[in-house]
A and B are shown apart, each in its own frame.
Chain A
Amino acid sequence: MPDPMSIEVRDLRHVYAENSAFQSVALNGVSFTVNDGDFLALVGHTGCGKSTLVQHLNGLLKPTSGQVLVDGEDLNGEQVDRRQLRMKIGLVFQYPEYQLFEETVAKDIAFGPKNMGLDQKEIDERVRTAMEQVHINYDKYAQRSPFELSGGQMRRVAIAGVLAMHPSVLILDEPAAGLDPHGRDRILGIIRDLHRSGTTIVMVSHSMDDVARLATRVAVMAHGTLQALGTPREVFAQTELMAGAGLTVPDAARLCTALREKGLDLPPDLYTQDELREHLLRLWKEAAPC
């Protein structure tokens, strides 16, 4: 069971290449808290600062101003060992399969635990569990080269490489990007299982349907600022705000709005397919009593 951990972001600002022709403001005054046990989804249009934001959460980028507090302590303080912290706050980058480098799958997954200075027995143990967690058969694949695997498998191996460090918080930047529906479901299933077993999750995503299915909280970003933060129900009910941020709402919410416009008696804040089906069935039964 991972240790509880919270991350608080206070008025975070990040400017790339300050005072030059290339200057661009990526984040402009972002504040929010990730509580222990959260599944926070970060959504926003391309270039809104999501990726920059997640790279601040484990100290890979330094804020231009503002703070990131981990359990109340400033991440960029002088006494903080950021390398140690990065092992507790795991970050899976976009297209993580491009970071694989070792000769075998097992060795690659062991890279993180090895950097933590664990002994060989513990490392082997962790590699085995991490592979199980991402549904890659240990006996079959551990000694294979990671470059022989399929794209989806490589992605899962890369995620296992971060899981093997047993992070309390797992941050994923578009973990399902570029995968086929099957690979996508697999990855999202893995992330859901991790959340259920107590890992705090922060996930950047483009798919509102995935967010609707998994997240407990949603943060909407646009132009480097936070536009909305709340439960999926609260956020997805604000269709206009979502459109302003260049986003759509989940398919079920859109269908619900369209049906309401046609005069159907549905609550305005439905956003998952299951809820919508239930309400429609109820209406159906009421309309045809026989």
Chain B
Amino acid sequence: MLKNLTLGQYYPVDSWVHRLDPRVKILLTIALIVAVFLVHSLVGYALILAFMYLVSRLAHVPFKLLLKGLKPLRFILILTFILNVFFTASAEETPLLKLGFIEIRESGLRQAVHFSLRLIFLVISTSLMTLTTSPIQLSDGMELLLSPLKVLHFPAHELAMMMSIALRFIPSLLEETDKIMMAQMARGADFESGNLIARAKAMVPLLVPLFVSSFRRAGDLAMAMEARCYHGGEGRTRLRVLKLTIDDLQAALWVLVLILLICAEPSLLPKAWLL
């Protein structure tokens, strides 16, 4: 029932991309996002699309899965597009199209294309990271990247621990929700019909047990951590020590090439092609 959630879900296969250092993957994802915002033409967007498609092939992650991750965003995408088309253009410009009070201008259309494509690639690039990096690796990478800030008393370890616990419990909670839902359906509960109020009321038999079990889990986990002498990040060693490899360097180089190409866009392409 609740299993079609792509954003933030690890896709457990073995690939070159999966084996990259999580720190590198996080940094490169940020670099990719920056690159998306530097694009000036449709050619640039095509380049990014091609790059992401190649990465997904390299990672053995079906590209369809990435596109599926966009589905929950479709309303935001449509809204972004429409708002930009109508409200960002200057009124002085002559409209391309006029239908009654609706006026579409070129600059508005450009803005709309820009913003919706940026949003799409933002989601695709972050999904690429989360699909190829397990939650544990992700929070390990985060912690190491943020650890220089410890000097400023920034709680890098605590944040990473909280994040990995939260991520760890998402599937458990989904599973639990599914189970309680089925158990209540076995007692004749109806989650699917009725008006808004009836449906909200029908959620009570689901939410109360879910809350109760979340608190129980939290208590159990705290107890288990304490029983194993957890006392925060100080002096803690790791089971898997992250090491940079030649592959990580290679990945960084490819992203660098992409960014350079995108930066060079205005000088390489005819002016009319730029958005």
Contacts and interface: CB of A to CB of B under 8 A. Distances in A.
A60 B188 contact: no
Interface string A94-135: 001011110000000001100110000000000000000000
B187 A111 contact: yes
B11 A99 contact: no
Interface stretch (B23-31, B107-115, B207-215): B207-215
Nearest to B192: A83
A86 B186 contact: yes
B187 A98 contact: no
Contacts of B182: 55, 60, 93
A83 B186 CA distance: 8
Interface residues of A, number: 26
B11 A86 contact: no
B193 to A, nearest CB: 10
Contacts of B184: 99, 111
5 contacts: A98-B209, A98-B213, A99-B184, A101-B212, A111-B184
B188 A112 contact: yes
Contacts of A141: none
B183 A96 contact: yes
Interface in A61-103: 83, 86-87, 90-93, 96, 98-101
Across the A-B interface, give the 10 residue pairs with the lowest CB-CB distance, nearest first: A115-B188, A101-B208, A112-B187, A91-B186, A99-B183, A93-B183, A101-B205, A60-B182, A101-B209, A87-B188
B13 interface: yes
A58 B190 contact: no
Interface of B: 3, 11-13, 176, 179-180, 182-190, 204-205, 208-209, 212-213
B89 to A, nearest CB: 43
A147 B187 contact: no
A49 interface: no
A14 to B, nearest CB: 14
A287 interface: no
A1 interface: no
Contacts of B208: 101
Given A60-B185, A99-B205, 19 more contacts: A17-B3, A21-B11, A83-B185, A86-B188, A91-B183, A91-B186, A98-B176, A98-B180, A99-B184, A99-B187, A100-B209, A101-B208, A101-B209, A111-B188, A112-B188, A115-B189, A115-B190, A162-B186, A165-B188
Contacts of B212: 98, 101, 147
A153 to B, nearest CB: 16
B186 A111 contact: no
A161 interface: yes
Contacts of A22: 12
Nearest to A109: B187
Contacts of B11: 21
